[in-house]
Amino acid sequence: MPAHDDHPGPLREQLRRRWPLSGDDALREDLLDAWDRPGYHDLQHLADVLGRLAELAEAGVDYPHLPVVLAAWFHDAVYDGERDAEERSAAWAEDTLPLSVGEETAAEVARLVRMTETHEPSEDDVAGCALSDADLAILAAPPARYAAYVRSVREEYSHLDDDSFALGRTQVLEHLAEKPTLFHTAPARSAWEADARANLDAELAGLRRVAS
């Protein structure tokens, strides 16, 4: 197994138990293989997003379970540091899911995956709000975990020099910081917004010091 994951077997087995379809084991394993890679967007990120979705459901966010959980499985299934990763992930869902869940649900999964490129769901899009919040929950991590997250994102963009990475990272963070709220569901705003803002502000300040 890849050296980057100290416990790939247990984590993969945990994720197998969270697969939302009865059957389609080959697709599940293809997705697990896709997620099993170095960097931030790895098996642990998938597990974290699924865990945050479960937390939101327990807190009363009534999102449609099947399409949202499937969208979590697909949302960064293609991730290589290049453009259009979300689009390629969405296309994978569109190509593989209709026979299992029908065209309508497959289309909804693909829509949700595409939404994660901007994390700007409409406020009445309960499914999109839940997935966006779960995906961005890492922004509210404790400082040591947040620092590890930043390092793993840098690893994913190791093909870029430091200045190019810093410029791109600053643009991403500034786009997020300009949002009226980072999180869209009430439980996520209550639990994560303040810590996420503090982490974003600190990282942006560091990037701007380097740039100057």
Give pLDDT, residue 211.
72
Residue with tokens 């963070």: 173
- What's the rounded Cα separation, in Å, for the pair 12 and 33? 9
Which one-letter DSSP state was computed for residue 37? S
- Would you place residue 50 in the very low, low, confident or very high pLDDT band (cuts 50, 70, 90)? very high
Give pLDDT, residue 174.
95
All domains of the chain in start order, with CATH: 8-211 (1.10.3210.10)
Give pLDDT, residue 6.
46
- What's the rounded Cα separation, in Å, for the pair 95 and 85? 15
pLDDT tens for 85-131 read 999 999 999 999 999 999 999 999 999 999 999 999 999 999 999 99
- Residues 100 and 15: beta-carbon distance below 8 Å: no
Closest CA to 74 of 38, 109, 26: 109
Percent of the chain with pLDDT over 70: 95
pTM of this prediction?
Answer: 0.92
- What's the rounded Cα separation, in Å, for the pair 66 and 114? 17
One-letter amino acid for residue 120 of the chain: E
- What's the rounded Cα separation, in Å, for the pair 149 and 67? 27
Burial (CB count within 10 angstroms: exposed 0-12, middle 13-18, buried 19+), residue 212 = exposed
pLDDT tens for 138-195 read 999 999 999 999 999 999 888 899 999 999 999 999 999 999 999 999 999 999 999 9
- What's the rounded Cα separation, in Å, for the pair 119 and 95? 23
pLDDT tens for 64-86 read 999 999 999 999 999 987 778 99
- Residues 1 and 9: beta-carbon distance below 8 Å: yes
Q: Residue by residue, what is the 3-state secondary structure of 98-146?
A: HHHHCHHHHHHHHHHHHHCCCCCCCCCCHHHHHHHHHHHHHHHCCHHHH
Give pLDDT, residue 8.
57
Give backbone dihedrals phi and psi of 42, rounded to 5 degrees, phi first.
Answer: -120, -170
- Would you place residue 2 in the very low, low, confident or very high pLDDT band (cuts 50, 70, 90)? very low
Calculate the average pLDDT of the chain. 93
One-letter amino acid for residue 174 of the chain: E
Give pLDDT, residue 208.
86
Give pLDDT, residue 82.
74
